[in-house]
Amino acid sequence: MAGILSKDTTLSVKTGSTGTFTEVPLLMEVPELGGDPEKVEVTTLKDAVKKYIPGVRDLGDLAFKFLYDNAGADSNYRVLRALQENNTLATFQVEYPDGTSHQFDAYVSVKMDAGAVNAALTFTCNMSLQSDITVTNPTAG
């Protein structure tokens, strides 16, 4: 299928090596996932042009935007803030409507976004990656 709407994209979290993923509700924006390798120069004095080899990829931090909800113990804001406050390394999974998923380990930091007149409250969860991003392709169905 070509051209997929981002509707129904989810972010889920689990802590520890066992357990199941639980969706973090009210996701509004997903950042770019992936990274470019650094360029390592390998030019010699005999080369007429600069030469490079691929180095380590810098995936950077990932910033996910959420509609703010702090109404209960399972609300998105409280769940993510608890991970931050306890300095918990968690496993996250982004899943797209076609079944493709990206999984990674990260520490989180949460901050409220700026407020404005006649605007919904939102917050951003920044994720500091502690692993590579594993991509799983959808299964034929």
Q: Cβ distance 12 to 95 under 8 Å?
A: yes
Give me the CATH number covering residue 81.
2.40.30
The Cα–Cα gap between 25 and 92 comes to: 13
The Cα–Cα gap between 66 and 44 comes to: 49
The Cα–Cα gap between 83 and 15 comes to: 9
Our count of domains for the chain comes to 1
Amino acid type, 74: D
In a domain, 33, yes or no: yes
Range of the domain at 23: 10-136
Q: Give the model's pLDDT for residue 17.
A: 77
- Report the sign of the C-alpha dihedral through residues 85, 87, 90, 95, in that order: positive
In a domain, 130, yes or no: yes
The per-residue pLDDT for range 105-114, each reduced to its tens digit, is 999 999 999 9
In a domain, 1, yes or no: no
In a domain, 2, yes or no: no
In a domain, 16, yes or no: yes
The per-residue pLDDT for range 2-38, each reduced to its tens digit, is 789 999 999 999 998 778 999 999 999 999 998 889 9
Q: With residue 79 as reference, give the H or E element that holds it.
A: helix 76-85
